[in-house]
A and B are shown apart, each in its own frame.
Chain A
Amino acid sequence: MKKILAIVLAAVMVLGMSSFAFAEDTVPMKIAVWTSNESQLELLGSFVQEFAEKKGINIDVTFESIAYADFTTKLLLELQGAEAPDVYWVTETSAPAFIASGNLAVLNDAMAEYDPADFAEGAMSLWKKGDDVYAIPFSTSPFILLYNADLFEQAGVKTPEEYIAEGNWTWETFREVSKQIKDATGVWGYQTVDGAGYTTSVMQNLLPIIRTYGGDAWDAEGNVLIDNDGAIEAVQLFHDMVYVDQSVVPPGDESSFYTGAAAMTLSQISRVSNLDEVTWKWGMCTLPGNNPVIGQAAIGAFSGSKNGELAAELAAYMTNKECVARIAGIWPPARQSVLDSEEFLTSNSRISPEQMKNAVAASIATGRVLPAHELYPQISVEAQMAYDKLWNADADVAAIMHEVGDIYRSYVG
């Protein structure tokens, strides 16, 4: 069966390989990713070619773009087939299951030459089992706050930066600001992350508040903290914003920050390109309390690959210092040396060095990844049914959070 490939970087290959005449050394490599952005794929493609040059071989690389929403499902279906990818991206929530099921190759030897100690221990926790590394994070992207400066001005509200300077950027302030903007301009004060903060992104939406108030989903020891007093207070605060103040884009309403229909939103720096065409001034800052969720994505090698060793080496190469530095503007790095570098601050032309430092780097410093679990898909489906009950004006927040807690406890610890 002749497979039609997502994006063939043939041109890049011919250019890079013209000095090598040994066609028989060509190794096919298939890489599954969820971006379909051509410039990003081109960048990744150049890493592969540099790697091939270093090894003195030809690599016939194909990138396969799988939509993010179905990425894990589709990827797993692919791994079942004859033409499985050799190297693939892994989402954070599927990490434990992919490691436990043996679909990822151990990368310890392959990454040995690229200064593995440079990765902070916290950044690697999801991707290791014992001392073995199964995938290497290429993106450690915190959820930060984007805001529409024009709307703040129009409503006569101080900017978040001013509040931060005062040391007064708390969730209570945030609630107040959101309400003031809604009352003054009629525009929603806040949109949850892509409007999905009630459903698929409920954790990214609620955890920053919950953590600030002393709760969490569950900790490393298996203690569920989602329904302690702090967590309930935190969820109540958000609930009040939606149903008492009515300053948050409510469930089922697709009004979007990026189209000017909300004054603030939870976001990641990869989304800033959405703002290229807007006519209003926007800003970026840390979340109140600065306890954001960090989204991670890693690159791993398929344990069943025909060229397993090479695939592992390629995965390690693509996360070396040089490569990581070049993609840092799109995907904030997990490597401490790159994070600390001056280049990182100027790596994204849409984001000022101050924003990169005060919002992005500061969020990475204090943020944490989502809790992980081998049965994460099951847990999230069951928990979602409980979380859904929150989104009514008369919801009993404490009872519902206890219900979520019971579901977590039945899996964790």
Chain B
Amino acid sequence: MKKKSGMNRQRRVEALTGYAFVTPQLIGFVLLVLIPLINVFIYSFHNKNMLYGTNIFTGWGNYEKLLNDKLFWKTLGNTFRFSILLVPLNLVLSFLLSLYLGEQLFGSRYIRTVIFLPVVTSGVAWAIVWKYLLQSGTAGPINYCLSKIGITGPNWLTDKNWAMISVVINRVLKNLGTNVLIFLGAVMNMPRDVIEAARLDGASEWQVIKRVKLPLLMPTVLMVTIVTLIGSMRVFDTIRLMTDGGPEGSTMVLVYYIYHQAFKMFNTGYASAIAVILFLIVLILTIIQWTLRKKVSHYED
């Protein structure tokens, strides 16, 4: 009897300590994430304008306006286009590089160091420098070098067919290092003996990659894909500094459109409706990620 109450007491103390330990984080979470998230839904049903101080309930008004907003649809399309260009490029490059680096050949250490330099550089600085490098004509160093080998470089940032590609290249270079390192961690953990066995069986290097390494790395690949995809939804600094959403709105993406509507045009209610759309997209991606994560860890067990 006495022993049991002692246990209960210990339990209670443990529970109280637990609550005490998580309280600071949870208070911050409620104030800085949960309440704003609820508010963004509430705002999205209001005709709210910061300049005029209006705040009138409009029901689905903002969402109906979204349906007819050509710029919104263009923006949504651009966002997906950006992701579809960026994610495969980033993944393929970082995957191949990590395989190369995993062999620890000549120059590996150097490559590993320098591809990480943009990661520690602020996106703003990286975008500013590339804006100069990518100037049109022969004014920019890149086009200047291309002209030396007889190629007329495009107007990277002012041609609507190239602007998105330029932004994608900038972002891929900026974040490649992260994914390479994550892949590298997985590559280093691959069971050597399986690979050696495949090689002894006379498999070519390409077959080893395709049949042995890729399946082994699949869990990591899936995770990195989703994380990169969600990250690509958030490209803001690069767009703002390099193209400002242009030309012809060809690089206007969701996050920039939210900023534009909210803080340039002061339509905070309407911007909130766009933010809700962004939230739903990210939510779906996150759910996919967690489902995959469960499946994959099931495999691993």
Using CB atoms and an 8 Å cutoff, list the residues of chain A in contact with chain B.
Answer: 73, 76-77, 80, 97-98, 100-103, 198-199, 250-255, 377-378, 381-382, 384-386, 388-389, 391-392
A386–B74 CA distance with the chains assembled, in angstroms: 14
B136 within 8 A of A: yes
B20-79, CB < 8 A from A: 50-53, 71
Chain B residues contacting A76 (CB-CB under 8 Å) are 50-51, 266
B132 within 8 A of A: yes
Chain A min CB distance to B271 (Å): 13
B155-185, CB < 8 A from A: 155-160
Q: Are B264 and A377 in contact (CB under 8 A)?
A: yes
A103–B53 CA distance with the chains assembled, in angstroms: 10
Q: Are A381 and B136 in contact (CB under 8 A)?
A: no
With A77-B263, A80-B50, A378-B265 as known contacts, state yes or no: A252 contacts B157, CB within 8 Å: yes
In the complex, the number of residue pairs spanning A and B with C-beta atoms less than 8 Å apart equals 64
Chain B residues contacting A250 (CB-CB under 8 Å) are 136-137, 155
With A100-B52, A377-B265, A382-B71 as known contacts, state yes or no: A253 contacts B248, CB within 8 Å: no
Q: Are B155 and A388 in contact (CB under 8 A)?
A: no
Q: Are A388 and B71 in contact (CB under 8 A)?
A: no
With A76-B51, A101-B52, A382-B71 as known contacts, state yes or no: A252 contacts B248, CB within 8 Å: no
Chain A min CB distance to B129 (Å): 13
Q: Are B247 and A255 in contact (CB under 8 A)?
A: no
**CB nearest to B266 among chain A residues:** A76
Q: Are B265 and A385 in contact (CB under 8 A)?
A: no
A397–B50 CA distance with the chains assembled, in angstroms: 37
A378–B65 CA distance with the chains assembled, in angstroms: 15
A284–B206 CA distance with the chains assembled, in angstroms: 68
B96 within 8 A of A: no
B244 within 8 A of A: yes
A73–B52 CA distance with the chains assembled, in angstroms: 14
A254–B139 CA distance with the chains assembled, in angstroms: 7
Q: Are B260 and A381 in contact (CB under 8 A)?
A: yes
Q: Mark B132-162, 1 if CB is under 8 A from A, else 0.
A: 1001110100000000000000011111100
Chain B min CB distance to A195 (Å): 10
**CB nearest to B161 among chain A residues:** A392
Chain A residues contacting B51 (CB-CB under 8 Å) are 76, 97-98, 101, 103
Please list 6 pairs of residues, one from A and one from B, whose beta carbons are closer than 8 Å in the complex, sorted by A's number. A251-B155, A378-B265, A381-B265, A385-B246, A388-B246, A388-B249
**CB nearest to B247 among chain A residues:** A388
Chain B residues contacting A382 (CB-CB under 8 Å) are 71
Using CB atoms and an 8 Å cutoff, list the residues of chain B in contact with chain A.
Answer: 50-53, 71, 132, 135-137, 139, 155-160, 244, 246-249, 260, 263-266
Chain B residues contacting A391 (CB-CB under 8 Å) are 158, 247
Chain B min CB distance to A44 (Å): 26
Q: Are A252 and B244 in contact (CB under 8 A)?
A: no
Q: Are A251 and B136 in contact (CB under 8 A)?
A: yes
Interface of B is mostly: loop
**CB nearest to B248 among chain A residues:** A388
A101–B265 CA distance with the chains assembled, in angstroms: 13
**CB nearest to A94 among chain B residues:** B51
A76–B264 CA distance with the chains assembled, in angstroms: 10
With A388-B246, A391-B247 as known contacts, state yes or no: A253 contacts B136, CB within 8 Å: yes
With A389-B248, A391-B247 as known contacts, state yes or no: A73 contacts B263, CB within 8 Å: yes
Chain B residues contacting A97 (CB-CB under 8 Å) are 51
With A76-B50, A378-B265 as known contacts, state yes or no: A252 contacts B156, CB within 8 Å: yes
Chain B min CB distance to A135 (Å): 16
A198–B160 CA distance with the chains assembled, in angstroms: 14
Chain A residues contacting B135 (CB-CB under 8 Å) are 252-254
Chain A residues contacting B155 (CB-CB under 8 Å) are 250-252
Chain A residues contacting B158 (CB-CB under 8 Å) are 198, 251-252, 391
Chain B residues contacting A77 (CB-CB under 8 Å) are 263
Chain B residues contacting A252 (CB-CB under 8 Å) are 135-137, 155-159
Q: Are A255 and B139 in contact (CB under 8 A)?
A: yes
A250–B152 CA distance with the chains assembled, in angstroms: 15
A391–B248 CA distance with the chains assembled, in angstroms: 10
Chain B min CB distance to A225 (Å): 23
Chain A min CB distance to B144 (Å): 12
- Counting chain A CB atoms within 10 Å of each CB, the highest count among B52, B160, B246 belongs to B246
With A252-B157, A253-B136 as known contacts, state yes or no: A384 contacts B246, CB within 8 Å: yes
Chain B min CB distance to A169 (Å): 29
A153–B71 CA distance with the chains assembled, in angstroms: 49
A134–B247 CA distance with the chains assembled, in angstroms: 36
Which of B159, B244, B264 makes the CB contact (< 8 A) with A199? B244
A198–B139 CA distance with the chains assembled, in angstroms: 17
Chain A min CB distance to B157 (Å): 5
A103–B51 CA distance with the chains assembled, in angstroms: 8
Chain A residues contacting B52 (CB-CB under 8 Å) are 100-102
A74–B224 CA distance with the chains assembled, in angstroms: 37
A97–B53 CA distance with the chains assembled, in angstroms: 12
**CB nearest to A103 among chain B residues:** B51
Chain A min CB distance to B66 (Å): 15
Q: Are B248 and A385 in contact (CB under 8 A)?
A: yes
| Extra 14 A-B pairs, beta carbons < 8 Å, given A198-B158, A251-B158, A392-B159 | A97-B51, A98-B51, A100-B52, A101-B51, A102-B52, A251-B136, A252-B156, A253-B139, A377-B264, A381-B264, A382-B71, A385-B248, A388-B160, A391-B247
Which of A100, A253, A385, A388 makes the CB contact (< 8 A) with B137? A253
Chain B min CB distance to A196 (Å): 11
A388–B132 CA distance with the chains assembled, in angstroms: 20
Chain A residues contacting B248 (CB-CB under 8 Å) are 385-386, 388-389
Chain A residues contacting B263 (CB-CB under 8 Å) are 73, 77
A131–B231 CA distance with the chains assembled, in angstroms: 53
A100–B52 CA distance with the chains assembled, in angstroms: 8
Chain A residues contacting B265 (CB-CB under 8 Å) are 377-378, 381
Chain B min CB distance to A59 (Å): 29
A156–B135 CA distance with the chains assembled, in angstroms: 31
Chain B residues contacting A73 (CB-CB under 8 Å) are 263-264
Chain B min CB distance to A198 (Å): 7
Chain A min CB distance to B44 (Å): 19
A392–B265 CA distance with the chains assembled, in angstroms: 29
Chain B residues contacting A198 (CB-CB under 8 Å) are 158
A333–B137 CA distance with the chains assembled, in angstroms: 40
**CB nearest to A251 among chain B residues:** B158
- Counting chain A CB atoms within 10 Å of each CB, the highest count among B71, B160, B247, B249 belongs to B247
